[in-house]
Amino acid sequence: MNAAGVLQIPLVMSVWDDGYGISVGNEQQTTKASISEALAGLQRTANEKGVEILRVNGWDYAALNATYEKAEQLAREEHIPVLIHVDELTQPLGHSSSGSHQRYKSKERLEWEEDFDCNRKMREWLLEKNIATIQELEELEQACKSEAKEARKTAWQSYQAPIKAKQKELLDLFPALIKSCANAPGLQILQSSLKQKTELTYKDLLHHSRKALRISAAYSSPERNQLKQWVTALQADLKPKMSSHLYSESNYQLKNITPVDPTYPDEVEKVDGRIIIRDNFKALFEKNDKVVLFGEDVGKIGDVNQGAEGLQELFGATRVFDTGIREATIIGQGIGMALRGLRPIAEIQYLDYVLYCLHTLSDDLASYLYRTVGQQAVPLIIRTRGHRLEGIWHSGSPMGGLLHLLRGVNLLVPRNLTQAAGFYNTLLEGDEPALVVESLNGYRLKEDKPSNLGDFRLPVGQVEVLREGEDITLVSYGSTLRLVEAAAQELAQYDIDAEVIDIQSLLPFDLGHDIKKSIAKTNRLLVIDEDVPGGASAYILQQLLEEQDVFPLLDSAPSTLTAQAHRPAYGSDGDYFSKPSLDDIVEKVYAVLREADPNRFPAL
């Protein structure tokens, strides 16, 4: 509501107040035990903008109508936010079926809830206003009960019909299967169990059929093959209903976007990385008037690292603007803009700060396409920066948590600002949400400036081999890659030829299985990651060992080199001891090769 008041958003927010948060009363939930009194300081006045706060009892039908009519008029005509505190509501059944309200409500409260039940008060109001007679209300109530029961029955029958049709198909397979398996008692018990079920779920069908396959594993027969085909077909039929559209399946899905390489003039200009990202944003704004960029310190000062320097002056405060320090509402604004057809780039100033909006990112953005079965795309781009810095704050790399909680969002980790620009260009051609983590310590490092800013596009889900080698595959991403490349050069002095691969995209991960191709050549793997032990490195290993099946290719155990489990200690020494250093990488690789050939590589 604070953000709504600051921005003067014409919304109507309802707080339906039954006096409890699950079983805990308002006196332990809210200051003054009232949300409207707690937020009274937001109330607008004749001289100051703010929020209009209205309060109404939930059992008072006429007052509810009048209150909502007033709220709608204020929001639409005066373009202001309105908070409606709907008070004195009842909680007839408790918060859930597992929490009976008799366990935490007093006798007096229960009696009050019976007297002020909304249906009862509505009935009293209808009689008082002579809108209906007692007989008419009783007839209406009975008709409503009958209609509800019939609707429930019809809905359940509609749900059961296709499942029962599948039940019949499965039962028809059992007699021949049982006969082909020497009348196995276990199969006969399953058949009987399935016949007796009158209320079914697809889970019941799959459980019985898959168990039948396990029981009949010792028998090879056409009947068993037929059952296996039936199970496979049912699973394939159900999968789109349960597991589709985690990511876009439209023509604009990111894997369909054609990559375009950056081009460079004959005389390449070396500039700070921030210049590349700034000028790339400028090019994007010029070619697409739906692009907006906003967040903490983005507008007036052009972000804390000057990656948006001067853009507000060029394109105005409507397209490049500042927000307050409120990450959750930044993401909320971005989701709303994306739903309305804009192409928002919402900046969360540092990677650490993503934690403050993670709930909205995970519960809302990441699941939006999945929850709507692909009907509603939300192509919000979240821009942030992180990885290596010196100190306990702004130096975290909580990639493991983000990987687990943001399935449904593309998670991109460019090693420099040219790569970041290429990702932004690609994302704006597609219809999927993404989180782009720029390298915090890369804004002042020199890069070659491309001549086709705004147009070159980096493929999402594709790794890049930065250095070819024969002895070991080194996999990393982001800022740490610079150390990995330097370590590979030093390792060459010890006759160790390391291949260096930039992951670039954690979600999705190496769609072309190019890391597997590298491991097939080197037969050794080291994952270097500045997340905590078991963080992103565990995910990377899972992808390589299970999805790409690299284990048979390895001559040495796959290894990881990660940051310490704690936050980075302060200063350059803190960074050196807390996160993988060049020395750590060199010595770790050397140890892997020494284990394979101790005569060639003496102890350090």
Q: Does one domain contain both 223 and 277?
A: no
**At 391, is the pLDDT very low, low, confident or very high (cuts 50, 70, 90)?**
confident
Dihedral sign for Cα 356, 361, 364, 367, please.
negative
Residue finishing a domain among 413, 448, 483: 448
One-letter amino acid at 520 equals A
Number of Cβ within 10 Å of residue 105's Cβ equals 19
- What the block records as the tokens of 446 is 């020199």
Burial class (CB in 10 A: 0-12, 13-18, 19+), 588: middle
Residue 88's pLDDT is 96
- For residue 360, what are the contacts with CB-CB under 8 A and spacing of at least 6? 328, 331, 332, 335
DSSP 545: I
pLDDT at 486 over 90: yes
Average pLDDT estimate for 507-532: 97
CB 48 within 8 A of CB 29: no
323 shares its domain with 261: yes
Tell me the two tokens of residue 513: 């299985």
Residues 579-599 have a mean pLDDT of 96
* Residue 392: band (very low, low, confident or very high) from pLDDT cuts 50, 70, 90: confident
Helix, strand, coil percent content, the chain, rounded in steps of 5: 50, 15, 40
Q: Which of 83, 110, 128 is the last residue of a domain?
A: 128
Cβ atoms of 476 and 502 closer than 8 Å: yes
% of the chain beyond a pLDDT of 70: 100
Q: Which of 211, 243, 275 is the last residue of a domain?
A: 243
Q: Cα–Cα distance between 325 and 323 in angstroms, integer? A: 7
How many Å is the maximal CA-CA distance in the chain? 102
**How far, in Å, are 72, 83, 510 from residue 65 at the CA level?**
11, 15, 56
The domain that holds 522 is classified in CATH as: 3.40.50.920
| Whether residues 331 and 440 fall in one domain | yes
- Dist. CA 172–CA 166, nearest whole Å: 10
Q: What is the pTM of this model?
A: 0.93
Question: Which 8-state DSSP code applies to residue 458?
Answer: P
**362 and 405, same structural domain?**
yes
Comparing 83-97, 132-146, 172-186, 444-458, which segment has the lowest mean pLDDT? 83-97
Distance CA 237, CA 259 (A): 34
Question: Any catalytic annotation for residue 85?
Answer: no
Say whether pLDDT at 295 is over 90.
yes
- The rounded percent of the chain whose pLDDT value lies above 90 is 93
Domain extent for 515 = 464-596
Evaluate the omega torsion of the peptide bond into residue 508 and state whether it is cis, within 30 degrees of 0.
yes
**Same structural domain, 49 and 190:** no
Residues 375 and 280 in one domain: yes
Q: Measured between alpha carbons, how far is 427 from 460 in angstroms, rounded to an integer?
A: 9
Domain count within the chain: 4
Mean pLDDT along residues 254-274: 96
Q: 463-466, long-range: CB within 8 Å, 24+ apart, which pairs?
A: 463/501, 463/502, 463/503, 463/504, 463/505, 463/510, 463/512, 463/514, 463/515, 464/501, 464/502, 464/504, 465/499, 465/500, 465/501, 465/502, 465/514, 465/518, 466/500, 466/501, 466/502
Structural domain contains residue 51: yes
Q: Comparing 95-99, 412-416, 486-490, which segment has the lowest mean pLDDT?
A: 95-99
Picking from 212, 152, 128, 132, the residue whose alpha carbon sits closest to that of residue 177 is 212
Same domain, 217 and 258: no
| Domain identity same for 273 and 224 | no
Lowest mean pLDDT among 12-16, 228-232, 480-484, 567-571: 567-571
pLDDT single digits (tens) 526-565: 999 999 999 999 999 999 999 999 999 999 999 999 999 9
Is there a domain that residue 291 lies in?
yes
pLDDT the model gives residue 196: 95
Can you tell me the mean pLDDT for 58-84?
97
pLDDT digits (tens, 9 = 90+) for 1-49: 999 999 999 999 999 999 998 889 999 999 999 999 999 999 999 999 9
- Provide Rg for the chain, Cα atoms: 31
pLDDT at 121: 96
Identify the band that residue 515 occupies on the pLDDT scale cut at 50, 70 and 90. Answer: very high
Is 459 within the bounds of a domain? no
One domain, residues 406 and 476: no
Secondary structure, 3-state, 73-108:
HHHHHCCCCEEEEEECCCCCCCCCCCCCHHHCCCHH
pLDDT at 367: 97
The rounded distance, in Å, linking the Cα atoms of 530 and 482 is 12
Q: How many residues appear in the chain?
A: 604
pLDDT computed for residue 145 by the predictor: 96
In a domain, 360, yes or no: yes
Among the listed residues 394, 404, 513, 566, the single catalytic one is 394
The answer to whether residues 281 and 310 touch, using CB atoms and an 8 Å cutoff, is: no
| Position 601 in a domain | no
Residue 356 to residue 347: CA distance in whole angstroms: 13
Mean pLDDT, the chain, rounded, equals 95
Q: Is residue 142 part of a domain?
A: no
Q: Is residue 188 part of a domain?
A: yes
| Residue 234 pLDDT > 90 | yes
Q: What is the predicted pLDDT for the residue at 232?
A: 98
On the question of pLDDT at 95 being above 90, the answer is: no
Task: Check if the beta carbon of residue 163 is closer than 8 Å to that of residue 200.
Answer: yes
**Any idea what the CATH number is for the domain that residue 315 is in?**
3.40.50.970
Same domain for 340 and 439? yes
Q: Give residue-wise pLDDT tens across range 317-335.
A: 999 999 999 999 999 999 9
Distance between terminal CA atoms of the chain? 61
Handedness of CA 430, 435, 439, 442 (dihedral sign): positive
Instruction: Answer whether residue 118 shows pLDDT above 80.
Output: yes
- Give the C-alpha separation, 134 to 567, whole Å: 70
Q: Of 466, 290, 479, 508, which is closest to residue 380 (Cα–Cα)?
A: 290
Distance of CA 523 to the CA centre of its chain: 34
Phi and psi dihedrals of 25, rounded to 5?
A: -70, 165
Judge if 408 and 485 occupy the same domain: no
- What's the pLDDT score for residue 342? 98
Same domain (yes/no): 287, 411: yes
Task: Provide mean pLDDT across the span 238-257.
Answer: 95
Residue 225: inside a domain: yes
